[in-house]
A = this chain, B = another copy of it.
Amino acid sequence: MSASSGVPDGRRPTLADVAARAGVSTALVSIVMREAKGASAATRERVLQAARDIGYRPDARARLLRSQRSRLLGVQFGLQHPFHTDLVEGLYAAAEPAGYQIALSAVAAGRGEQRAVETLLDDRCEALILLGPQAPAARLAELAGQVPVVSVARRLRPSIPGLEVVRTADDKGARQAVDHLVELGHRDIAHIDGGRAPGAADRRRGYRTAMNRHGLAEHIRIVPGGLTEEDGADAARALSADRPRPTAVLAFNDRCATGVLDVFLRCGIAVPDDISVVGFDDSHLARLAHIDLTTVGQDIPRLAQLAVGRAIARLEADETADETVAVGEQVIAPHLVVRSTTAPPR
């Protein structure tokens, strides 16, 4: 029996209710609500008052069912990846001022990318922003055929039409990490890789070329890893049994590095005294003082800004049939953040 809403029955108030109360047509109410021109200041105020009175809120679904534009950007992200949640925060910040909404769809245990993307598509998102997508390139190409797609942090053949890539120069990042370690005096530097994860191939390559460049070819050691703490832990266990043990490790990402730190800690291997550890991403995780991880920083706000920018550019271009948007790929530079998990070898 809550009388907070102005309509008698339980229904949510609609345009028609507002129109009736203000004594105008629904079309006019629509004009006022959209802040379009075509209404006098006086009626505008009268309509707004009526809307306030009965607690009217436009129905987003109906609205975008009618108007072709939904101004909705679908975002797929990994719930448990700090790097992704940081990115999402940036995406909100970039999209809302530009007049676009974000629709979130999480990838989690029991909910794969396929499912995540499907729900976004069903919601009629105009473009898809995929954070570190793992789907096969063919699948992404297929998607890009239906709707503009921005892949963040995953490199892809730039020739796929309708597909934009925004990413950090992963190879360069790995190189920076190796340079830093070499500068500290390390020679035996291992890399725990990310397997087939987005960016893994580039980081692997960056590591390899940097090692070669420093004349450390024979010390190249790549341990299979992954992108979770568990993957890092497994790799670290393998590594700590190796002889000679490397004096430094570059992990695929911060989560992986955290797993590495854990294992070393429990085995009594001191970081950074016995071994140095470098992560990748500079997510929230790395900044926790208890972890305080030296890591390769990605410029997260920038990545988010660019991703939204590319998606929107694509949309507005499609609208005007303007073909001058063929950028395809934006690569931005990483920068090393030195914290306390790296030091000269003993």
On A, residues with C-beta under 8 Å from B are 2, 4-5, 12, 57-62, 64-65, 79-80, 85, 88-89, 92-93, 96, 101, 103-106, 108-111, 118-119, 121-124, 142, 145-146, 161-162, 229, 233, 258-259, 261-263, 265-266, 284, 288-292
* B121:A57 contact, CB within 8 angstroms: yes
Bound complex: CA A90 to CA B65 (Å)? 31
Most buried by B among A96, A108, A263: A108
Least CB distance from A158 to B in Å reads 17
Docked complex Cα distance between A101 and B123 (Å): 11
The verdict on A124 contacting B80 (CB below 8 Å), with A85-B85, A262-B288, A290-B265 known, is no
A108/B89 contact (C-beta < 8 A), A142-B4, A146-B4, A146-B5 known: yes
Is B110 a contact partner of A93 (Cβ separation < 8 A)? yes
Chain B: minimal CB distance from A52 (Å): 14
- A106 near B92 with CB under 8 A, answer yes
Contacting pair A104 B101 (CB below 8 A)? no
- 17 more A-B residue pairs beyond the given contacts A4-B142, A60-B119, A288-B291, with a C-beta to C-beta distance below 8 A: A2-B161, A5-B146, A59-B122, A60-B122, A60-B123, A61-B64, A61-B124, A62-B65, A79-B85, A79-B88, A92-B108, A92-B110, A92-B111, A101-B119, A262-B289, A266-B289, A290-B291
The docked-state distance in angstroms from the alpha carbon of A59 to that of B68 is 13
